[in-house]
Structure 1
Amino acid sequence: METGSKMHMKEWLIVQIESGIYEGLCWEDEEKTMFRIPWKHAAKKDYKQTADAALFKAWAVYKGKHREGRDKADPTMWKTRLRCALNKSPDFQEVPERNQLDITEPYKVYLIVQDGGQAKPTESHQTKDQVTIPVKRSSMNPGSLEKQFHCEKESFQASKEERKLLTDDLMREHLYCELNENKPQSQGSTPIPFLSPTLTITDFRMQVSLIYHGQKVMQVFTKSPDGCFILQGCVPVGNEQIYGPCTAQQLPFPSPSSVPLPLCKAEAMNRLLCHLERGVLIWVAPDGVFIKRFCQGRVYWSGPLAPRSDKPNKLEREKTFKLLDSTTFLNELQSCLQGRGPSPSYEIELCFGEEYPDPNIPKAKKLIMAQVVPLFAVDLLQKFKVSEMEEKWTNLSTDPGEEEM
């Protein structure tokens, strides 16, 4: 397919299905209303990028997001792009009950929505806007459920421990959180008791603060779903070819003269800024917070997924790093709500040009730092606090023995 063709995604996918060139991509029914799309996880031992990422790569090439022979292969990003496109398109709807994600050759099933507005097969009981909180299913009676949520799990990098877990449950990309309105939960279920059952992790905004030598010089709330460049100067033209038309918000470093600094510190900061011309790109996706370093200057970080809390964590150049995992955050939030753990961490710190964390030098002494806060995490924690206060007030109001204590 030539980049620039005007076919919509629905037309493009039908052409790919009919072509028969992608193994596992086929019609699910004789009426050709549903189709299977291969969905093998990159962490599986028998994963082969050439075959298993072929369709995802083709979509990236078709949309101008990848140039063969010029851009680095990024199969995880290719898969994420196609998945997001399918989820956002009104022409498709996933059919979770037909998915087979724990077999040797896993696949998902999607329904092609007809022009008349038929949304899904009659056997499906899920709504399009449902989101998943990853917890294990309980044996609760379905009639007692208030709502079910669905969420996809993507892993950019898998450690040895994660690979062991993924062996058992890797392909279960749709997991369920069950909320019971009136009855006590059965043993083994782990619900999040939000007052409102509407939970959707589609808020990709961030609060980004720039800090010079311990002094905040800028704070921005990003709006673009493509994230934010933190850099010196303008985004290089080459990056537009990697990410398509650059719609990521640009956050340039302010001049060191914007804060009172000793002359030696100001000079050191100016020298450092010269090496941050290509900066870093940081963004929020449904499965977490990610970053990619483009600048020559070294960048270090701390955050929920940092391998070390007391020694420097360096970002390698031209490599995507996952800074926060949505699944882990939600699991920790559940544990916190049930009194089994502390409040989950979600703040991310970047340090430019100097090793960080550094137990010998406080962060207030670092020349240039950035603090990144994903707003979806802030929103969930705020809901948690409201729910917690409501529950305490209810207990005080209804406990007949409260006055006797």
Structure 2
Amino acid sequence: METGAKMHMKEWLIAQIESGKYEGLFWENEDKTMFRIPWKHAAKKDYKQTADAALFKAWAVYKGKYREGRDKADPTMWKTRLRCALNKSTDFQEVPERNQLDITEPYKVYFINNTSSRKSLVAALIGNVLRTVSLCSLEILMREHMYCEITGQKTENQGPVPISFFSPSLTISDFRMQVMLMYQGQKVMKVTTNSPDGCFIMQGCVPLGNERIYGPCNAQQLSFPSPVSLSLPLYMAEAMNRLLCHLERGVLLWVAPEGVFIKRFCQGRVYWNGPMAQHADRPNKLEREKTFKLLDVPSFLNGLQSCLQGKGSKPSYEIELCFGEEYPDPKVPKNRKLIMAQVVPLFAVELLERFNLEEKQPTLTSISDG
């Protein structure tokens, strides 16, 4: 950067963090994708303007909004300016689950939102789903829950399972999904996605110049295999080809900290079943160009906690999509449907495996990995 050239906010803020000049401003993780910023209110009795407003003042000076000795000091306005700049910037994303605003030295946490750091969000937030859980609590829970490997029984001197094991700050940040496509119950594709932007399941590929429809196309693209490559009866291959013609714009699936989501773009109808489906014995239709939540992370974690405490069954997490045909359909088994997809969020699999609740990789009935 040329001498005297103005830095963008991200560059400027990273420089301030690295400088170590501001008390309470530092990296939250080793990957330097999240940082902590002091956030003390000016009305607090122990508020010291020179220290607690130093960063906000520096930003105001840098932006030419405050001139030392000429303008009246206004710490509240300085703070507001920086807060608004952070909120408006696409480079930063607040992580409210990590904020601590009711302590003596309050602070907020922000995530630096770019492609490389989003891909490493697993490590940045919790590495894998369990890294923010204390090892002590983990050992206690593993020792006491009803699926204990050693005996499967509780001893007399064991205390109760922690009532609130999963902290509210626990953030799901593993965006991977296992996606399996089936034609009439026959597996034709099995892929583990790795893009934090999710994946398209579609016929063909996303055409260039369609950002208005899809947004930036950084999501992984999974195309339906041609039925010609399969040993299918002619009438079935023809029916499948007719259906695929209506799936050109496909569906977009993604995992976020709040859950698993889907948006249908294709003309062809798409039905689904899963943890949040309204009906278990009749069709659940995905309306076109509307976002649907297929799995809710807080509900899943609550279900897992109840299961580990012996108060409920293992929480479900598998999602099924059926293209062009109503589903669930009590009259027609899933292996008779023309085109189906099974979607498994891997954060759920890893959690259940960690607690010995998952015996094997889930697959649809009558579907083999061979």
Same-fold status (TM-score > 0.5): yes
TM alignment of 1:274-313, pairs within 5 A? 274-313=245-284
TM-score (normalizing by structure 2): 0.60
Find 1:179's aligned residue among 137, 147, 156: 137
Find 2:196's aligned residue among 213, 220, 225: 225
Q: Does residue 90 of structure 2 align to residue 85 of structure 1?
A: no
206-215 vs 234-243, greater mean Cα deviation: 234-243
Counterpart of 2:197, as a letter, is D
Give the Å deviation of 1:178: 9.3
Find 1:246's aligned residue among 217, 237, 249: 217
Give the Å deviation of 1:257: 1.3
Query: What secondary structure, in the 3-state scheme, does the structure 2 residue paired with 1:96 have?
Result: coil
1:184-224 per-position Cα deviation (integer Å, ceiling 9, x unaligned): 657982436xxxxx976221101000000110000001010
CA distance in 2, matches of 1:217, 1:350: 15
TM-score (normalizing by structure 1): 0.55
Cα 1:325–1:185, aligned 2, differ >3 Å: closer, same or farther?
Answer: farther
CA distance in 2, matches of 1:333, 1:93: 20
Cα 1:130–1:86, aligned 2, differ >3 Å: closer, same or farther?
Answer: same
231-240 vs 336-345, greater mean Cα deviation: 231-240
Counterpart of 1:260, as a letter, is S
Find 1:259's aligned residue among 216, 230, 238: 230
Q: Which residue of 2 aligns with 1:96?
A: 100
TM alignment of 1:103-118, pairs within 5 A? 110=108
CA distance in 1, matches of 2:346, 2:138: 27
CA distance in 2, matches of 1:56, 1:332: 39
Q: Which residue of 2 aligns with 1:136?
A: none
Query: What secondary structure, in the 3-state scheme, does the structure 1 residue paired with 2:283 have?
Result: coil
CA distance in 2, matches of 1:188, 1:93: 21
Deviating above 4 A after TM superposition, structure 1's stretches of 4 or more consecutive aligned residues are 9-12, 32-35, 55-58, 128-131, 180-188, 241-244
CA distance in 1, matches of 2:226, 2:185: 15
Contact 2:94 2:109 in 1 (8 A): no
Counterpart of 1:179, as a letter, is S
Q: Does residue 203 of structure 2 align to residue 203 of structure 1?
A: no
Query: What secondary structure, in the 3-state scheme, does the structure 2 residue paired with 1:331 have?
Result: helix
CA distance in 1, matches of 2:224, 2:161: 52
Query: What secondary structure, in the 3-state scheme, does the structure 2 residue paired with 1:342 have?
Result: coil
355-364 vs 198-207, greater mean Cα deviation: 198-207
Cα 1:11–1:321, aligned 2, differ >3 Å: closer, same or farther?
Answer: farther
Contact 1:305 1:325 in 2 (8 A): yes
In structure 2, runs of 5+ residues without a counterpart are 1-5, 14-38, 43-48, 58-83, 112-123, 141-156, 360-370
CA distance in 1, matches of 2:159, 2:55: 38
Cα 1:278–1:386, aligned 2, differ >3 Å: closer, same or farther?
Answer: closer
Identity value in percent: 58
1:376-402 per-position Cα deviation (integer Å, ceiling 9, x unaligned): 0000010010899xxxxxxxxxxxxxx
Counterpart of 1:382, as a letter, is E
Over aligned residue pairs, what C-alpha RMSD do you find? Answer: 4.1
Cα 1:323–1:294, aligned 2, differ >3 Å: closer, same or farther?
Answer: same
Contact 1:275 1:297 in 2 (8 A): yes
Counterpart of 1:95, as a letter, is N
Which of the two has higher C-alpha Rg? 2
Q: Does residue 347 of structure 2 align to residue 376 of structure 1?
A: yes
Contact 1:191 1:334 in 2 (8 A): yes
Total equivalences in the alignment: 261
Q: Does residue 245 of structure 2 align to residue 271 of structure 1?
A: no
CA distance in 1, matches of 2:298, 2:198: 20
CA distance in 1, matches of 2:335, 2:358: 35
CA distance in 1, matches of 2:254, 2:87: 23
In structure 1, runs of 5+ residues without a counterpart are 13-25, 36-54, 64-81, 100-107, 114-127, 134-146, 150-176, 193-197, 389-405
